[in-house]
Structure 1
Amino acid sequence: MAAAHRVSHEPAYVLHRYDWSESSLILEVFTRHHGRIALVAKGAKRPSSNFRPVLLPLQPLEINYGGDAEIRTLKGAEWMGGHVMPTGDALLSGYYLNELLLRLLARDDAHEALFDAYGGVVQVLAGDHGGAQATTQAAALRAFELLLLRGVGLLPQLDVQTLTLEALEAGTRYALVAEAGLRAAADDEAALAGADWQRLQAALDDRAPFTATLRLVATLSNGSNSALRNQLRVLLNYHCGVSMLRTRQLMRDIQAL
């Protein structure tokens, strides 16, 4: 009989956790080399469990697990340090990232560059970059949204019109639209200038795409930032199959209070 598959010292983040029994949890985990996987953490809810203080969202972990079934068994988990959990709006933003990954990533499909970008945006949300301001956090979210869409094959090239493959004109406004890709914008549409889309494509192609895209988005005007946010929100909702993500609705409800 073949030995059960074992993985050791795997970088990971917990995306979500569910009760499995009175004492155990089912975890949705994003790993660097194996993508999104499901794990059972046996006994994790017991007061004496070593897992209790470790299996938290938005925390860098190193895990060991084994098994060949769809749901593997967690054998060990260690917090890798580096930052504390984000709080307030930053925490809700982190939950938003996790919801996107749960909805858009297939199981067992590795995305190493996207994993690294996720770690980068979590550090920004936790304030590891000199007490990151709200504008920097927003730029980090936009950068991750772009990298996620590209990583799962849902983002067209941003330096050409999608249907015609014609080069963009720097001063012309273009809209990013589900199913149609990047096209010339109507007067009342959220859109960016061709020069901005071209710069975004160059940043995504950089050797350090998350950092380059974050820095670029942070330099966009308020109007361009709003237009980019609105277009990406519509595109993400479309591909997630929802009118609004749960975390976005939660943010609205809290703001309404």
Structure 2
Amino acid sequence: MASRRIADEPAYVLHRHDWSESSLILEVFTRHHGRVVLAAKGVKRPTSSFRPILLPLQPLAIAFGGEGDVRALKAAEWAGGHVMPTGEALLSGYYLNELLMRLLARDDPHPGVFDVYAAVVRLLAGADADTLQWALRAFELLLLRELGLLPTLHIQTLSLQPLIPHARYTLLPEAGLQQVSDSEPHALAGAHWLTLQQALDQAVPLVALLQDCSSVLAQLQRPLRQLLNYHCGVETLRTRQMMLDLQSL
């Protein structure tokens, strides 16, 4: 890894944990360098200017450098733009962070994912419950597509046959998009999958999904959850289980 200094890099903190009494290790998602691990020395001291800045779900501009798997944070500034989400929106933001931590390889840039993530995070603080769920489903779709884990939604995955608008199809982790019986509770009509594909093909797919596919996105929670859990290698994501536990209370 080159030791050159990277400056003015758009970034978000995904996770942080203690390194020593005064320092932190940060998992950071950057626009041009992907997910990187940074050592933030001395940031827990009361006099550190970084202390109130290095928070999750806040847009940052950072500088870092060094060699190896863990590099050194050199500078960080808050990029402004929105307040910290609270309540369900905060948990939803942590859910997005967990997805990125599990699915993105380190030092693998995905500027498109970064831009979608930034847009969704901006929505979190002011979104109502419905918009929040639509935004999460749209992010999941776009993340899976960017990583090559989402099959094309206008044909059946195994047979390559075009979808029949009135027939029903479901998204299976190991078989992709497959036709099922009309009684399958979590299947969508072929017309709905075609609408999703059309939105994904737009120049700004996040906007197209939220504007044109909100009613369809609301039906995607279970199939997308199964697909994400499969590729993450878990039965339930930790933040997802936390949300379920809080709802049960």
TM-score by length of 2: 0.96
Structure 1 residue 13 displacement after superposition:
0.4
Unaligned runs of 5+ in 2: none
* Matching residue within 166, 176, 196 for 2:171: 176
Distance of 1:206 and 1:239 partners within structure 2 = 26
Match of 2:19 in 1: 20
Secondary structure in 1 matching 2:102:
helix
1:233 alignment partner, one of 225, 237, 241 = 225
Higher deviation after alignment, 207-216 or 4-13: 207-216
Q: Which amino acid aligns with 1:135?
A: D
Q: State the Cα distance separating 1:254 from its structure 2 match.
A: 1.2
Residue 102 of structure 2 is matched in structure 1 by 103
Assess if the C-alpha contact under 8 Å between 1:142 and 1:214 holds in 2: no
Q: Determine the structure 2 residue equivalent to 1:58.
A: 57
1:150-188 per-residue CA deviation (whole Å, 9 max, x = no partner) reads 111110001110011111111111100001000102333
Q: Report the AA paired with residue 44 of structure 2.
A: K
How far apart are the structure 1 equivalents of 2:180 and 2:193?
Answer: 13
Counterparts of 2:8 and 2:159, CA distance in 1: 47
Q: Residues 4-63 of structure 1, C-alpha deviation per residue, up to 9 Å, x if partnerless?
A: 221010000000001011111000001001111100100011111111000000000000
The separation in 2 between residues aligned to 1:3 and 1:252, in whole angstroms, is 43
Residue 248 (structure 2) pairs with residue 253 (structure 1): no
The CA RMSD over aligned residues, in Å, is: 1.4
Aligned partners of 2:85 and 2:124 also within 8 Å: yes
Structure 1, residues 97-139: CA drift from partner, whole Å, max 9, x if none? 0000000000111111110000111011021xxxx22111111
CA contact (8 A) 2:195 2:213 kept: no
Distance of 2:235 and 2:215 partners within structure 1: 29
- The match for 2:9 is 10
| Alpha-carbon distance, 1:217 to partner | 3.1
**Pairing of 1:77-226 with structure 2 (within 5 A):** 77-127=76-126, 132-186=127-181, 187-220=183-216, 225-226=218-219
The one-letter amino acid paired with 1:190 is H
Structure 1 stretches lacking a partner, 5+ long: none
SS in 2 for 1:76: strand
- CA shift for structure 1 position 225: 2.1
Q: What SS is found at the alignment partner of 2:218?
A: helix
Cα gap change, 1:193/1:77 in structure 2, threshold over 3 Å: closer, same or farther? same
Letter in 2 for 1:230: R
Q: CA deviation at 1:253?
A: 1.4
Letter in 2 for 1:234: Q
Distance in structure 2 (CA, Å) of the matches to 1:4 and 1:233: 39
Partner amino acid, structure 2, of 1:82: G
Q: Distance in 2 between matches of 1:74 and 1:214?
A: 36
Residues 187-196 or 50-59, more deviating: 187-196
State the number of aligned residues: 248
Which amino acid is the alignment partner of residue 247 of structure 2?
A: Q
State the distance in 1 between where 2:78 and 2:151 align: 37
State the identity as a percent. Answer: 63
Look up the equivalent residue of 2:184 and give its one-letter code: D
